Structure 1
Amino acid sequence: MKKILFISTALLATLTACEDYNDQFNIGSQISDVKKGVAIKLEASDYAAVANNATNKEVALSKDPENGTYVAALEAIGKNRYFASKTEAEWFLPAFITEKYPQADAGSRFSVSYNMYREPSTYLFDFKNLKEYTLVNADYRNVWGETATATYLSPSTLKKLPEVLAAKIDKPAEGDMVAVNYAYSEFEPSAGGGSVIPMVYQQVTSFDGEAGNYVIAAKADDGNYYPFGKLDKESNNYGYMNPAPITVGENGVIANADGAEQVVTLGKTEKGFTLLNGWSKYIYMSGTYNSFNVSETVPTEGAEWVLNSNGDGTFALKNVEKDKTVKLTYINDKYSYGCYPESSYAYFSDPMTTETGKFSIKDVTLPEGSTYVWKIDSYGYYKGSAYVGGKNLASESYVVSSEIDLSEATAPVLSFNLALNFLSGNKATDFFQVKVASDYTGDVAAATWTDVAYDASGIGSSWDFTDQRIDLSAFKGKKIVVAFVYKSTDACAPTVELKSTLVQEKDAKYWDVCLFKEVAENEVEAALLRMSRASGAYANSSALYVYTDGAWVEYSKEDVNVLVADPKFYAELGTEYVSKPSVIFPVYLTQKFPYAAKGDQVAVVYKNAADADPIVEEYTFNGTWAVSTNYSTRTTIFEKAADGSYTAQAGVYLDEALTGGSDGGFTVQDVALTGVSYVWKSDASYGWKASAFMNNTNYETESWLLTPAIDLSEAMAPQLSFEEAHRYLNGNPISEYMMVKVSTDYVDNVETATWETLEVDETQWSDGQSWNFYKVGPYSLSSYVGQVVRLAFIYKSSSSAAPTWEIKNVLVNEAE
């Protein structure tokens, strides 16, 4: 069904009506004073006009000259675009009306519709102390105890979440709330007995310091993985490792048959880990050699190792004492492991996952209201953005490397991983540049910079990292610094992410290791969760818990829907927070609640910043999902007295003559139009008129005439009356062609709102034989006391009758 929504009826004045249409309306030409019965609907700019009105400032100051309470309240009206109370509206709207209509006569009446603050849903106060906690491996061990080694929760262990929170949340207060992220699988791990479930080795992309069994292997340029851990012979005590390749299957899983003999056990130490290979020998380093030693007992020298993520799925396995890193290399026609100082394999290397001192940030222009552009993100990369407080802001900031010595370089190459999003169709190189300088001394403005080209194709609209390689041969023989430069404007402030910066020879063959964690074969599904970028500590699910009466319980409240954005949701977004909730959540909620009814509400718990606690925001369904407003529309009638002052009319909620050129703030929504371009029209002499008779033909139509919002929040016994005239029903019943309905939830679409038909006494109505107006009513509206309502005058026509209906002097007031 086609719907045509008219926000204003002003356009109707431009239409040329046919002769028989005008005749049927019996249109006159008398126009009354437009200053009487004026309907005003405050627009966004009007609230600022109210707040800046000089008279209002005097009024506000006079009410509390010492503390300025109402001066602040007046300023808030302009900022919030709503009044905090009906009293405020009655204080400050008269001066606004006077400024807008300075020549209004005594007795002039103005019906003003405006926004007034509405208390949020009471349950939202439950979320005032909201935090987040993500389970780590130690939590899973405590949950399972000796029964299993699973790193997830299952149906049988979900009930232990309160115990986890009790152990982890220190001194909780009554009402504290926690959004808990955890890994979940329907599969119950083996608890002992029965057949033995084989162990496999699942590749992981993050390492949380958990000791245990791993296969450590590096992927070479031939596409094969080579395991680390064993010398060429079990009897050897020292040397390089020259392994044969190992098979890595689907989803990064090494089968038990291939991996069991290559296991390296990580044992926790004060500074890192010991490495115990499959021959039960500890791997260590001695002296200045780049080879390995092994021993059946833990040696006192060079036996502690650390693992640091490179941010690309590989890890730097470093010897703590020797400050050397394990590398797979290709030498003497074979792939071999050694442990080398950085100078052996690179001129510069920094994974950029944490602060190492190898890069420094130099801000040229900071975005207004922010203290930084670049930061190290919690997920392990440098992140640059000047999108602050929902706005694009101008900025310029450098990330500058420490000195890189290319004095003996032959064909140096710079490589790094780059992701760029929210470029909005702009040119990448206008907002992100890579520069090199050989005279940098700490001042980016004083250095001489050379731009070096990177591959800007295919970036700008996703979080996918791209592999960048830049030839630095032009700088061989020099000592240089590399700078990554972020720029933004008030029109575009993209987000840039950087990691894994490396400068080495073009043909260098050195590879870092990957980790394959030992898991039961039936736990591979859960282990795969850790491959997700935004999965936290393997998490894929979330729950909401509240501390009450000395215990943690899952939050639940009757008639309240709560949706917690879980790690899977963030993984789908490719980010760890939601920067544009008004765009994301309406789509998400539509998928989650496909059968939502009008007025349904959902509290959405989510993170709006990477390092912030979660927040809660309520969404309401009115045909589509949108953030619940913190105001409702109210209407107050003001009348000008002889002394020039205005008085709010107590007990009068709507009083519109609808003549004299005033449309009363009524609006039209056409549900069906056939053969005519409009049905309702405002006339200076006869009020609102409707007809679908054109060119001597009755056309089928349906059109709604809607009043402004009518505030009955303080009413006691409200009633409706109006005057109407109609003709040309052709013997058909009034109730099928002319109706009056009431809604308490109308927003902008009559078909999605809930309407109740007002029972009318048709004996009061016109007999349809003349153009005489009849006063109908009053009809009680007492069932709507305490609410804000809309009235609708509904016109319908058919091929057998297209009557003319005229309405004026619509009054909603208190019964005497």
Structure 2
Amino acid sequence: MIFKNIKFIYALLLVGVFACDPMQDVYDDLDKGSTGGVTSDVAFTMTEDDFELALPIAENGSDSSSMNSFYNFTDEQARKYIPYILSEKFPQLAKGSSANVTYAQYQGSSSTANTYSRASVYTLDAEDYESAGESVGMAGFFSPSYPASAYVPAILLAEVQDPTEDQVYGVSYKYSVTDPEFDYENAGDQTVYVEGFTEDISAYTVKEVSGDLAVWTYVIYSDGSAQGSGYSGGAQENEEWLVSPEIDLSGLTEAKLHMSHVTRFLDGNAVSDFLNVKISTDYTGDIATATWETVSFPDWVDGGSSNTAVEVEAMIDAYAGSKVTLAFAYKSSSTIAPRWQLAEIKVTTPGSVGVIAEDPTNMTDYYSYSGGAWSKDNGAYYLTAADYDAMGAPGQYDNFSSSVPADPYIITYLKTNYPFAQEEDELVVVYKYYSSSAGATQTRSNLYTVVGGSWTAYSAVIDATLLFAFDGTAWVPDNTIKITFGAPDYTWISENFKDKNPGGSSNMGTYGNFSCFEWSDDQIFDAITSRLDVIYSSIEEGQKYQVTYSIYCGASSEPSLAVIYQGGAWEKL
């Protein structure tokens, strides 16, 4: 009795040890396989060590990196290398064995997200805002009463040549949360420079070219004027220039020269033969070495009187942004000595309408082309500077980086800004990312989807499962789905085959299995595949199933039926 008890206790200990490992039965079978092999089904999740098993047969650097750096496979790599891993890991398994392998699968970035981050971006300019109407043109931005979506489609239609169907374009523009109000007080011409010669002409320099007369003098007419005259007891041959100080037109884009003056005694001769206004950007004191161009006044005619000056104007936009010098070149001959009185010299630039509104911010929206028209695409959102600021750390540089990863911040942003998003709602978020390896800030994006009530980021690496079968020589990928029929399946067949097989259905309703005395092989095939049609409402072409079912033929057994769905019908394997 004592020895029997000891043996019983030892047996219990063995049961306890092996019951701790759910794979122990498999391992036991594998040990048996060392004397001839065993057919078994195994399932496991690959570890880093498993990935490294395939390193000896890596075909290129990309494959090596997948195995020993990233520990993931593409679907193609998995089908190529996992068979080798299985042969190394389970050498004892025999023909008919299967392995259900879960591994980290690299599926790449979201193609939906890439559509937006890789889209061309068009930035609106002043002409685009002007095309949207007077208010938008004067403001230089869009606002609630003048939304970008009302005007951008027409702008893109004019700017994008030969767009393709479903093409996506980003549009960068300025937007204010308040409508603009306009202050017209400074809308007229603004004076940049003025000289009225009210007391003397000392601000200007007289440069003698030829002749002995002092041509340019100060006179009191028209509240003071600079006067050029070559008359002294008669016409005298002379040339003399009156040169202005340097006039700063820096920062301007437009400029206009105004001249209030009197010209007399030209006696029908051309003005330009005797009187000219010159302009230079390189005058340093010597008129002979400077480069001069003549300013053209379209409406300059001989006229006026000493007390009534006339004003002429000339556009000098070509010199806006520079520093210039003006010269009033007077010439007389022995027969013609005109009188030229300069009452006022002035340079102006167009004023601007004052705009009162909240400071505009830079925005980017996406538009897609379809059926000959552009329309706003709401599938993506481009983060603004204000968004980065609201997130905290990303606001320092308005971008994410390896130390400030995008997904956690964006998910929190979406929870806050889209609180009523529904299950499976999705949105692409486009953002800036500083890549230290590239040394540059890049445009990136990701797809975010509501799953289980929470925003979830698309992952480039997911858990995937592949089924492999051992054909006696090698492991081959197998898409077979294995299923064992239970009570609900037999109940369904019993209810739905009453017309086709009344006796078999009745028997199945009583015993919960097939009876080979009531069901033929073809009837069993029909019943099982009909049930599969119900269990799997959407069956892909080429999908295999292995169905284990219960049958009574004088004794109960559980055979398997292998079938494949192809050509829209079921076939036995």
**TM-score normalized by the length of structure 2:** 0.46
Q: Which has the higher helix share?
A: 2
Which structure is larger by alpha-carbon Rg, 1 or 2?
Answer: 2
**TM-score normalized by the length of structure 1:** 0.34
